[in-house]
Amino acid sequence: MKQTEIKKLSKQDLGDKLVEYKKKLLELKMSHAVSPIENPSQIRNTRRLIARIKTAITNKKEL
User: In the chain, what are the domain boundaries?
Assistant: 3-62
pLDDT tens column, 22-54:
999 999 999 999 999 999 999 999 999 999 999
Mean pLDDT of 13-27: 97
Q: What CATH code is assigned to 3-62?
A: 1.10.287
pLDDT for position 7: 92
pTM of the model: 0.90
- Angle between helix 41-62 and helix 11-34 axes, rounded to 10 deg: 160
pLDDT for position 13: 96
Identify the burial level of 53 via C-beta atoms within 10 angstroms of its C-beta, where 0-12 means exposed, 13-18 middle and 19 or more buried.
buried
Give the confidence band of 62 by pLDDT, cuts at 50, 70, 90: confident
Helix (H) / strand (E) containing 19? helix 11-34
